[in-house]
Structure 1
């Protein structure tokens, strides 16, 4: 596998070819956000996770191929600066969790709850609600079978810890609990994690640090 997930703002996308899905990771904007373009191998349909910034670069990545949906992982502005323009050009539907959708610059076409399925062509992704970074943060899980699980976590899980909860102990406890129960307790170590900023990781690389995260409280 040549995919590493190490991308830089202004640089090329990194592309991962799976049997049923192609994943393109692109870094955009002043906060070095990651945007992910997923494309169904069978149908060619596409889905964009977080139209974060630099709409021209995102549209160049999409090119002249269709995308049916744009999923916004959470309401923070650095994750939707390009949403309005990309939606206008592509006609894609906007998806978000109902608790965060009011914070977006355009109305959501579909509200996505915990456990709902999101389709890209014949492939489906599972929405996982991870509360704490924001009330309506969601991750998306592509489960291609044993040894082929891919989790797009927004700002809820990174290499080295859960997302920022601004030293609020209740929010940290909620996010830590959700990440443990809804991610680590049910998914194997080889699950690949694609975060909203920075480098990728795996659950196996992070799992030994869970007690340390809980003890430090962030």
Structure 2
């Protein structure tokens, strides 16, 4: 049986917090505790949490982190940095590109996906068709960037990290609905081949 994926939309920016639950062992991980600690605690009901994992350290993704660490008493896993605003994260588990994390009888593979922020990672559910992508990309476009260099890095991430995934992969982003990669592949391929000059900011796949 595949991992159970639970979600809550929390906080003023409608951020998607996820929980992955192994149906065989009941072990769970909480991904991106952005806000509303009571809702997140309820989302984990009936499970045995083993870790909190972060896709990245923007404030809307970590707003309830300290409270959930107190409540759950489990280690924190994240990319080693640099973090947003020089945040002193004090994570117990460094998650780097290519690393694996075990949730019960299931494996998450870590992909480093910088651009939106340097510490952005994705969690690819092995032997599955789902990836928790954070703010790497959304149904309508890539994550916001704050410099032309960041935007060029986003293009590299889309080309080298995201597009090699198979069409049947379903992306679960930090905001908005999940979507099938194959349904957006042509748009993403066209997007990364355009000359965007020194653009940065909010982008959409059909942006000229």
Q: Please give the range of the TM-score, normalised by the shorter of the 2 chains.
A: 0.7 to 0.9
Flag structure 2 segments of 5+ consecutive residues without an equivalent.
204-208
TM-score normalised by length of structure 2: 0.88
1:204 matched to 2:187: no
Q: What TM-score results when the alignment is normalised by the length of structure 1? A: 0.84
- After TM superposition, the structure 1 = structure 2 runs for residues 69-84 of structure 1, keeping only pairs within 5 Å, are 69-84=51-66
**What CA deviation, in whole Å up to 9, does each residue of 1:19-44 have, x standing for no partner?**
23100011011010001110011111
Let me know the Cα RMSD of the aligned residues.
Answer: 1.6
- The CA deviation at 1:105 is 6.2
Which is worse superposed, 57-66 or 42-51? Answer: 57-66
Q: Which runs of 4+ in 1 moved over 6 A?
A: none
1:179 aligns with 2:166: no
Q: Which among 150, 158, 162 is matched to residue 130 of structure 2? A: 150
Name the CA distance, whole Å, in 2 between partners of 1:104 and 1:23: 28
The unaligned stretches of length 5 or more in structure 1 are 1-18
What is the aligned length?
A: 195
Contact 1:35–1:52, Cα closer than 8 Å, also in 2 = yes
1:157-187 Cα offsets, whole Å, 9 max, x none, are 1112211113x222111112112211212x1
Partner of 1:136: 119
In structure 2, C-alpha distance between the alignment counterparts of 1:30 and 1:57, rounded to whole Å:
14
The CA distance in 2 between the partners of 1:27 and 1:106, in whole Å, is 23
Cross-structure match for 2:170: 192
